[in-house]
Structure 1
């Protein structure tokens, strides 16, 4: 992703990187405009304020490498600082890693730990790994495991790996 000089103050022009090709524009904006409510994102899409290659698009438009996305100025609400994860849990999760390379982390998730925060939980495995790996900007869960379930959990470090694994895990039409 490359920022290009904006035509008017506050407007952002972003060139889509090859690893983001195939991602829907709404999901791209949700990630790119972290903290902006989804209702606002869908409103600027519906009103045609977001443009791709100078044209209006629908929320389901799939980005292509090299697309130029025009993002209007949006206000991001002030967010509370994330709750720091206890050092003991960070060490426990670090020790649970069974495989890691440039694109993927596989860990043996212990029972009793949620994979992501929400519903009264301030953090989960993914938030802990974002704290453990602050330079890895694209960490995403490939799949989920219930809080009380232990087992292997995959975390993608790159969007291309996430897409590849989602495709591999998707049930085949022939077996359905």
Structure 2
């Protein structure tokens, strides 16, 4: 590439999955936002010519996006965003060793705590950027769902658009069974097996964006089962029936039993208990996933607790 053209790169055809946050937007406004540096005239010319397609069909500029839509973006000249972030060797090694399932359409990773699922908000990289650099042979890698940065455990990454659409369809219903392990403060009552409380996100509190229970929030349901009780804490299995941001964490707090190590939602007493028990990170782990892939029997995947969390339980059992 010559010096004069080094500021421009040409992308190939891309397939973008429309997520819930973008649902309802006009297509042209969405494109202007995500295709930074591409002239407006080029975007509108592409819309008129049918180069941008939704679910393989032609659409107009005023089309309202729907969650789950697959948007085809044609090859475009865009300003080069700069060199790709260099993935530290520590994270590269962690991710390579934590891929627990792989087939032609799907990767499943046991995500380590401390790694965001994607870059943004001041982060140069996350799990998906790491995977794309580690696996350049994969032309398509997209997150199926998300985990909080400090939550460890199983996360799905699609290698084909059709698998992404199918798993999103299952996630919108009850087709994907997700189970988490959490160590919460106090003795969770065995008879309390469900927390149903609407959640509202992006509440700014002390300059930090939070989620809270609010009647104007979105309906949210989490099942809880007591697995093991200790004098000051309880190991529970949590099953989210809805998929709201921070759902398990806020529902545990709402029930009066914050998750140990949760810097966002635990109170001072819980923070002191976490310190005393040696909990140095959020004790929340996505331990199992069950779902169905096309033409395959139902798949059940499990990931054991990370060693530092298992050690805390062993210490408490003594």
Indicate the TM-score class for this superposition, using the shorter chain for normalisation: 0.5 to 0.7
Give the corresponding residue for 2:280: none
The whole-number CA distance in structure 2 between the counterparts of 1:94 and 1:74 is 32
Unaligned runs of 5+ residues in structure 1 are 1-13, 63-68
The whole-number CA distance in structure 1 between the counterparts of 2:111 and 2:78 is 34
The whole-number CA distance in structure 1 between the counterparts of 2:166 and 2:87 is 30
TM-score (norm 2): 0.37
Unaligned runs of 5+ residues in structure 2 are 1-12, 52-57, 67-71, 175-240, 243-318
Deviation >3 Å, runs of 4+: 38-43, 47-50, 58-62
Q: Closer, same or farther in 2 for the Cα pair 1:74/1:169, shift >3 Å?
A: closer
Q: Relative contact order (C-alpha < 8 Å, sep 6+): which is higher?
A: 1
Is contact 1:48–1:56 with CA below 8 Å preserved after alignment? no
RMSD: 4.0
Is contact 1:97–1:106 with CA below 8 Å preserved after alignment? yes
Q: Pairwise mapping of residues 4-153 of structure 1 onto structure 2 (< 5 A)?
A: 26=27, 36-37=35-36, 44-45=43-44, 49-52=47-50, 57-58=60-61, 59-60=63-64, 75-153=77-155
Instruction: Give 1:93 deviation, angstroms.
Output: 0.5
Bigger Rg over Cα: 2
Instruction: Give 1:52 deviation, angstroms.
Output: 2.4
The whole-number CA distance in structure 1 between the counterparts of 2:40 and 2:65 is 14
The answer to which structure has the higher strand fraction is: 2
**Count of residues in Structure 1 that have an aligned counterpart in Structure 2:** 142
Instruction: Give 1:135 deviation, angstroms.
Output: 1.4
Is contact 2:38–2:78 with CA below 8 Å preserved after alignment? no
The whole-number CA distance in structure 1 between the counterparts of 2:134 and 2:95 is 9
